[in-house]
Structure 1
Amino acid sequence: MILRTPMPGRRAIRAQRKRHEDAAGWLLRNRETGQPAAEKAAFRAWLDEAPENRRAYEAAEQLMGEARTAIASDPALADFEVKPRSAAKPVLGTLLTLAVAGTLFIALDGPMRLRADTMSGTGEMPVFTLTDGSTVQLNASSAVAYDYTAGHRTVRLLRGQAYFEVARDATRPFTVEAGSTRVTALGTAFDVRLGDTETDVTVTHNAVLIALEGADQAPLRVTQGERAVYQRSTETRQIGPSDGLTALAWRRGQLVVDNAPLSHVVEEMNRHFSGRIVIANGELARRRVSGTLAIADTNAVLIHLEQALRVTTNRIGPLIIIR
């Protein structure tokens, strides 16, 4: 015998939708300063009108709090500003036009497009050849710019990650600039990752010299099978052994992590996700993850994280909050 739960009718659906809309409206009004006493009384009356109203308001309050905390902890979202609207229609029209144009410019990655010579999208990992015969593969959501002259070859990694196989040219050194880190090839193949908090360099053939802009330290020589990490916040650098297959798993669409912080996994997921994934708080961001993940399959990775870390995920349009 199959028992079926009756589906709510249209009237019930409309009532539920209105209840959630009212809850969101009251939540916003209650956060305003100088709220009139009559409005406060009306809110209390609405709250006591039905248990469903109170549950809807508590759910809206929880979700708003988590979204604000997550957005505040994410630099890309915390820096976003909303322009106040003017009451004057001509000024409002101008502001709306500028706001729409600015939003589209940022949404289409306009600032980076002005700086980069080659970019990759969220679903792309292109391989291309430079004018000297060197080849480059970009990870998803990455960007580079080139500066080739008669005396040097410089590639600036503006965002993301790239793997380089350098063509020999004794008269022109080949250097990759990633933030304040300068990586000079010594006839080599190597990988550079410009992360949110650190820069990683993994050498798969021969050696490189790593120098830090403005630092008094001598250049660091990193050889085949080694990985160097520069922590920007502490201005420290570390070098150790590296498994090339693991370090370059991204070229196969994988992320291999061994006791890595959740923040690192989410950073890599965001390269392949067209929206934005954020973590609700710093303690959760430091939770550790291990495994081999198909990093471009956002849903599969989220399921893995939910099972491994006992976390939950909430979607708000293009935003995913892990809590």
Structure 2
Amino acid sequence: MSEKKDSEVRMPHKRLTTTQRRRNLEAADWIFRNGEAGRSSADEAEFQQWLDRDPENIRAYEAARRLMGEARMAIESDPALRDLRIKPRSAAKPILGSLLALFAAGTLFLLFDGPMRLQADRISGTGEMPVVALEDGSSVQLNASSAIAHDFDATRRTVRLLRGQAFFEVARDPDRPFTVEAGDVRVTALGTAFDVRLGSNETDVTVTHNAVLVEFADHADDALRLQEGEQAGYDHTSRARTVGPADGMLALAWRRGQLVVDNAPLSYVVEEMSRHFSGRIVIAGSELARRRVSGTMTVSDTDAALAFLEHALGVQTTRLGPVIVIRD
């Protein structure tokens, strides 16, 4: 395994278990439910029962409330949101005002990636590709806009790729298998290094050193042993599996901020560009989204990537604030 880089980021000592993540999501749900108008005594009793069930529920609720507070602070600091007014024609004005504030805070909670923050142990932002040191000596590099959660104990090491892409260099420990779960795909390390990408349409696994065992939710008894220099793909819709050779340098070009594609659909390219863009990139039309493109582009530089697409496909790009529209 390569030496750890000076830029690596260490995980916090406290990590989330599956139970803690479920509790956090329940707490976020209670935040929204408690903000609704017309709550009954039965609702209040149910909430109190949930709090009394476990002291950790109280802590989770307070943490979720702090996150919501950050959203409300953002509203207060934004003149456009702060000065927004509703002028109802009835006595329902206070209720509508409260609903507006709740809706705005809830929307910002989602925009601030609140649900993912309650589940993940580590999230990378747009333009960030951090190297994370795990407690067992393994390392993970996250692509931009990616997220992982991990659970280690005396018998196993499990990392869940919740979003995006990650490259794993695994420390040897024969007594504790190292497994990565990405949607319906489960990858167990039989060697040292491999890459997992959880895309919107497909999950890809690329082995750069030794081998891995790849299992699929709907093919539990038909696991694949993937060797160094091979890549497996799993289509989320058709459940089809593909296996073929892979050039590790090209497959891991994302670690250099690049994307190398050979006859890939434009939708795939835009998905990778979007990891590095804080707004939204929209393709005008499904036919254009299916158009194929080949070449090497720097997706970490949005302007450069757009210039490449304009030249390669003859498309036009228009910026509308935080939105980029690609059209014929």
Q: Same fold (TM over 0.5)?
A: yes
Report 1:174-213 matches (<5 A).
174-213=178-217
Paired residues of 1:186 and 1:208 also in contact (CA < 8 A)? yes
Cα deviation for residue 120 of structure 1 reads 0.3
Going from structure 1 to structure 2, the CA distance change for 1:85 and 1:114 (only over 3 Å counts) comes to farther
2-side partners of 1:158 and 1:113: how far apart?
11
Q: How many residues align?
A: 240
Paired residues of 2:87 and 2:93 also in contact (CA < 8 A)? no
Report 1:217-232 matches (<5 A).
217-232=221-236
SS in 2 for 1:295: coil
Report 1:56-205 matches (<5 A).
88-205=92-209
Going from structure 1 to structure 2, the CA distance change for 1:85 and 1:96 (only over 3 Å counts) comes to farther
Length-normalised TM-score, structure 1: 0.72
Gaps of 5+ in 2: 1-85
Going from structure 1 to structure 2, the CA distance change for 1:165 and 1:216 (only over 3 Å counts) comes to closer
Cα deviation for residue 216 of structure 1 reads 4.3
1-side partners of 2:129 and 2:172: how far apart?
24
Cα deviation for residue 316 of structure 1 reads 2.2
Paired residues of 1:210 and 1:219 also in contact (CA < 8 A)? yes
Q: Aligned-residue CA RMSD in angstroms? A: 1.4
Runs of 4+ in structure 1 over 3 Å off? 84-87
Residue equivalent to 1:316: 320
Residue equivalent to 2:281: 277
Of residues 236, 242, 246, the one that matches 1:242 is 246
2-side partners of 1:296 and 1:276: how far apart?
14
Cα deviation for residue 190 of structure 1 reads 0.1
Residue equivalent to 2:308: 304
SS in 1 for 2:222: coil
Gaps of 5+ in 1: 1-83
Paired residues of 1:85 and 1:95 also in contact (CA < 8 A)? no
Paired residues of 2:164 and 2:198 also in contact (CA < 8 A)? yes
- Show CA shifts across 1:69-114 (max 9, x none): xxxxxxxxxxxxxxx9965311221111101211211111101000
Length-normalised TM-score, structure 2: 0.71
Cα deviation for residue 300 of structure 1 reads 1.3
- Percentage identity across aligned positions? 68
Letter in 1 for 2:272: E
